[in-house]
Structure 1
C-alpha cells in the first residue's frame, strides 16, 4: 500500500517561498517601476524552481552531475540573497510603520510613510554583497587553506616529547575537488610545517573509493619523521551510495583501506601504536567512526587495550560527539583527541571576536580547541568541502599542534 503524500507541508513551503519572492519584488519595484520588471522576475524565479526540481529528479537517477551543481548552487545563492534583502527591507518597513503609528498618536492622522529609496538601495547592496560572498566562496574560498597553530601544555607529557609537533587535516572529500593545482598548494602547505607527525581524521572520499585515485600523487607527498596515520570517517563506509549488493559495498571499503596504504597512511582501526623518542613513548590511537547519528562503529576499549592509565595518549576519532559521549570521562586518561567532521558547515564568521556557524546548533564544539576534565579536543574545520562547493568565512584548515611540558 502506497503511503499517502501529505500535501499540506508542501503548500505551506510553497506559500512562504512565493511570499518571500513577492516581498522582494515589492522592494525592487520601489527602485524600478518598469512594467517589464514583474514578468521577468517571476519567469526567472519560476524557471529556476522548475530547473531545480528537474535537476533533483535527474540526480536521483544519474547521481550528482554538473547540471545539478550549477542549478542547486544558483538556487541557493539567489534564495540566500533574497532572504538577506527581505530581512533588511523588513527592518525598514517595521520602522516606518511604527513611526507612522506614533505620528497618529500625536494627532497627525495615520499616513503610512513611503519607503526610503536609500534604505531599499542599502537592502539591494546587501543582496549584491551576499551574491559576491558566495561567488568568492565557490571560486576561491574552498581552496583558501589556512594554517592554525595551537600550543598545548601538559603536566604528564614525557620530557622527550616536549616541543613535539603534529599536523592534522580532516575531511578531504576528494570526490568534490575540481582543481588539482589548488589542492597541491594545500599539500605544499602541509609539508611546509615540517611537523614530527602527520594525522588525518577521516572522510577521505564522499562515497566511492575511486574518488581519491586522481589525488593519490598529491597526498602521497605528505611525509613526517614519526609517520603518517589516519582513521575512517562516516563517508568512507559508502553508507550514502547505492550498491548492487552488500558485497560490493564491502569491496569498496576494502579498496579504500588499501588506498590509505598507497598514500603512505597507516590506517588505525580500533588500535594504537607507540611512538618512541629517547627512551620514552606516547600512545597514538585511532578508532573507526563513532558519531551520534552517523554510526557508532568504533571500539575505544579495543583501541586502548594493553595501554596503561598514565600513558600519554593522543586519540584520532572523526566525530567530535564521541568526545562528549565517551572520551572526556574515559577512566584511562586521554590527554588529546583530534576530530573533524563538522566542516564548520563551510559557512560562518570567525572575526572581530565572533565565532559563529549554523553548525553550532548541532554540535557543542565544532571548531578549534576545547578543554574539559584536564583533557583537550581539537576539531579541524576540514581540508575539503561537501555539498556546497565552496566556503564562506570558515576556511579549509591545516592544524599544527605543539605539545609542551608544563
Structure 2
C-alpha cells in the first residue's frame, strides 16, 4: 500500500487563492441557477397541463339515505383561449367521465377573453355524461369587463348561456333546480358571479323548503358569506386557481387577504362545507404546487353526531 502523502503544515494552513474562491462561487451560482431553471421549467411547461383527480368522501347531516353514495364531479375555471388549449379541456372532460359521476357541476370561467372560443368550449362540454345531468353557473370572465376603452365583450354571458343550453347543460342564473333520485330530492342552487354585480342569493333560494338539502354552485368562494339565513350543505366554487404559485413558506403568491386562506381545498363553514377547486385552466401559464384538478365528491348520509371531517381519498 502506497504511503499517504503528507501535506506540510505550511501548505495546509495556507489560505485559498482568489481563483479557488471564485471557482467555488461559480459552482454555487451554477447550482442555484440550475435549480431555479428546473423549477421554472416545471412550473411553466409541466404542471399547468398535469391534471389531477382529487376524490373526497363527505358525510353530510340531513343528507337523505336514498341519496347515500351520490357522486358529483366538479370542474371549473377552464379559461380556454389563446393561452389555454382546447386539448386541456378535452382531457378534463375525459377524466370527469371516467369517474362515472351521477351529476357534473361546472362553476364558470369557460373562456378567458371574448367570444371566439364559446362554441368550441360548449361543444367539448357536450361530451360530459352523467345520469342526473350537467349543471353550470357563470364566472367573472364570462361577463362583460370594463376596460380603458369602455365595456368589452358585451352580451358574452348570454352567448355562453345559450351555447351551453343548446348542448344540454343546465345553466343556473340566481335560481334553483330540484333533482330527484331513488325517490328523494335535493336542490342545486346556482348564482351569478359575485364580481358581476348580479349575484342574488335571496332570489336563488326563494321557494326552497327550509329543511331541504341544497348544494350551492358559486364561482367566487366569498359568496358563502352572503348566505345569511340560508344553508348549503356543500358549496362548490373556484376562481382562485389554487393560487397558481404556492411557494414554500410564502403560500399562494397571487392571492391576498382572505383569499389566501381559501386558496384551495375543503373548509367547514358555519353555513356548511365549502370546496375551492384549483380549476383546469389558468390566466398566466404558470402553476407551482397547484395542479389543475377535477374534483369528485361522494356524498354520504350521516347524522349530526357523526359529522366530523371530509375524507380525502
TM-score normalized by the length of structure 2 = 0.82
State the match for 1:389 in structure 2: 285
Shift of 1:255: 1.4
Between the aligned partners of 1:178 and 1:299, the Cα distance in structure 2 is 30
* Distance in 2, Cα, partners of 1:143 & 1:183: 10
Structure 1 residues 208-357: aligned runs within 5 Å: 208-240=114-146, 249-290=153-194, 294-323=195-224, 325-327=225-227, 330-348=228-246, 356-357=251-252
Q: Which moved more, 1:200-209 or 1:158-167?
A: 200-209
- What CA distance in whole angstroms lies between the structure 2 residues aligned with 1:119 and 1:160? 68
Distance of aligned partners of 1:206 and 1:152 in 2 relative to their CA distance in 1, 3 Å threshold? same
CA distance in 1, matches of 2:105, 2:256: 28
Q: 1:369 aligns with which of 266, 272, 292?
A: 266
Alignment match of 1:162 (pick from 68, 71, 76): 68
Instruction: Give the 3-state SS of the residue equivalent to 2:155 in structure 1.
Output: helix
Post-superposition Cα deviations, 1:167-217, rounded to whole Å, max 9, x if no partner, equal: 001101011455444442222111101100000111111131222333443
Question: Are residue 404 (structure 1) and residue 305 (structure 2) matched?
Answer: no
C-alpha change, 1:135 and 1:257, in structure 2 (3 Å) is same
**Matched residue pairs, number?**
281
> Distance between the aligned counterparts of 2:156 and 2:197, measured in 1?
20
Residues 229, 404 of structure 1: CA spacing in aligned structure 2 closer, same or farther, 3 A cutoff?
Answer: same
Give, in angstroms, the shift of residue 311 of structure 1.
Answer: 0.8
Q: Whose strand fraction is larger, Structure 1's or Structure 2's?
A: 2
2-structure distance, mates of 1:177, 1:213: 17
The runs of at least 4 aligned residues of structure 1 exceeding 6 Å deviation read none
1:240 is displaced (CA, Å) by 4.9
Q: Contact (CA 8 Å) 1:205, 1:235: kept in 2 or not?
A: yes
Measured in 2, the distance between the counterparts of 1:269 and 1:208 equals 20
Deviations 1:362-393 (A, max 9, x none): 3131101000226100000011111x213222
Cα contact 1:175–1:212 (8 A) shared by 2: no
Q: 1:171 maps to what in 2? A: 77
Structure-2 change in CA distance of 1:123 and 1:241 (3 Å): same
Note closer, same or farther for the CA distance 1:345–1:240 as it changes in structure 2 (3 Å cut). farther
TM-score by length of 1: 0.64
**Is there any run of 5+ residues in structure 1 with no aligned partner, and where?**
1-113
| Structure 2 residue ranges without an equivalent (≥5) | 1-19, 303-313
Q: Given the alignment, which residue of 110, 116, 137 partners 1:204?
A: 110
- Give me the whole-angstrom Cα distance separating, in 1, the residues matched to 2:78 and 2:300: 28
* Relative contact order higher in (CA < 8 Å, ≥ 6 apart): 2
Contact 2:73 2:296 (C-alpha < 8 Å) held by counterparts:
yes
In structure 1, distance between residues paired with 2:250 and 2:235: 21
**Structure 2: distance between partners of 1:135 and 1:345:** 18
